[in-house]
Amino acid sequence: MNVKNCKKCGNIFMFDGFDICQKCRRIREEEFQLVKNYLREHPKATIIEVEAETKVSVDSIEQFLREGRLEISKDSPIFLKCLRCGENNISSGKYCNKCLLDLKEELNSVAGNIYEDISTATQREIDNILMNIEKWKK
């Protein structure tokens, strides 16, 4: 049997492919709905306002955005930091478009033969490739 400590509450739970336990996932889902509904009614709210109104932490809101689950309107003031260049210029995912292009070029030079379709790779695929590159370097 595979048990794991929940990354959120620390309780031991039966591992089923997630980092957090079923209970925390349910809470997280409720938080997600709260934030989603709030942003639908207040598309121009800042992340601080969303936190204040929904009582969902900025960290959780950012995580929803990084996962690409939460969609925000074009004129929303909410931006995430690009994990590569550090600019606050993205509304979902991890990297800005410019960095994604750079990364793709970089990956093409190291992994181009293996990943033929790198120009159409999704962010998730790029993450996997990045992880592999780290492994090869070692």
- Part in contact with Zn ion (CB under 5 A); list of ranges 60-68, 88-96, 105-113, 116-124: 88-96
Tokens of 138: 């070692």
Of the candidate residues 12, 52, 58, 85, the single one contacting Zn ion (CB under 5 A)? 85
According to DSSP, the β-strands at 80-81 and 12-14 are unpaired
- Residue from 53, 84, 91, 125 that binds Zn ion (CB under 5 A)? 84
Instruction: Establish if 24 lies at the interface with Zn ion (CB under 5 A).
Output: yes
8 binds Zn ion (CB under 5 A): yes
What is the DSSP pairing of strand 12-14 with strand 88-90? Answer: unpaired
Q: What is the C-alpha separation between 57 and 62, in angstroms, rounded?
A: 9
Nearest residue to 130 via CA among 65, 108, 97: 108
In angstroms, give the least distance from the CB of 43 to Zn ion.
Answer: 24
Binding site for Zn ion (CB under 5 A): 6, 8-9, 21, 24, 82, 84-85, 96, 99
